[in-house]
């Protein structure tokens, strides 16, 4: 009974399926299909994660990706609904440039980048995807860039420690 009550609560995290890939294996009787899904999970308040799930059915691949994303959540630094400074991120061939934007700009980014930024809770940002257009690498590069963000206080304390 306690398990049912937990499932009826409002979900803590929202999920967004970035893409589902179908793969075919040719066997004696024909083709066997399997699926992989890239899922982004976030609470729209500075926590976001990425998961990659594989299975023989789409729904199972999405479920596995969601579980993996919830295990790999990272905290993001957000100031005034945007990021504190310009940052770049990279994963394999995918490169991403993120710039803070003023109030009212909105999320100007495309594809997988938009899913990550919206679920992280960032409302005003400019994003540019450079290099590879592989959606998995773009999402990973976006998370890499967001993990590099630091507050002004962290930068000041680090500079005073080095001086």
Does residue 97 contact residue 130 with C-beta atoms inside 8 Å? yes
Residue 90: other Cβ atoms inside 10 A:
16
Q: What is the reported pLDDT for 9? A: 43
Q: How far apart are CA 66 and CA 71, in angstroms?
A: 9
Each residue's pLDDT tens digit, 111-156: 889 999 999 999 999 999 998 889 999 999 999 999 999 888 888 8
Q: How far apart are CA 160 and CA 7, in angstroms?
A: 48
Residue 105's φ and ψ, nearest 5 degrees, are: -75, -45
Q: How far apart are CA 52 and CA 36, in angstroms?
A: 7
Give the torsion sign (CA, 60, 36, 70, 43).
Answer: negative
Q: What is the reported pLDDT for 73? A: 92
Each residue's pLDDT tens digit, 19-49: 999 999 999 999 999 999 999 999 999 899 9
Closest CA to 53 of 90, 12, 21: 21
Average pLDDT, the chain: 89
């Amino acid at each position: 009974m306690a398990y049912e009550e937990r499932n009826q609560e409002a979900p803590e995290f929202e999920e967004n399926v970035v893409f589902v890939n179908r793969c075919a294996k040719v066997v004696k009787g024909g083709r066997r299909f399997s699926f992989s899904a890239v899922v982004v999970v976030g609470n729209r308040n500075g926590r976001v994660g990425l998961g990659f799930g594989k299975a023989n059915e789409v729904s199972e691949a999405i479920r596995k990706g969601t579980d993996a994303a919830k295990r790999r959540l990272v905290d993001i630094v957000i100031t005034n609904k945007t990021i504190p400074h310009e940052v770049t991120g990279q994963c394999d061939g995918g490169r991403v440039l993120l710039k803070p934007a003023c109030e009212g700009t909105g999320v100007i980014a495309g594809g997988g980048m938009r899913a990550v930024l919206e679920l992280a809770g960032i409302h005003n940002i400019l994003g540019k995807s450079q290099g590879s257009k592989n959606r998995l690498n773009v999402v990973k590069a976006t998370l890499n860039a967001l993990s590099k963000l630091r507050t002004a206080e962290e930068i000041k304390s680090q500079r005073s420690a080095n001086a």
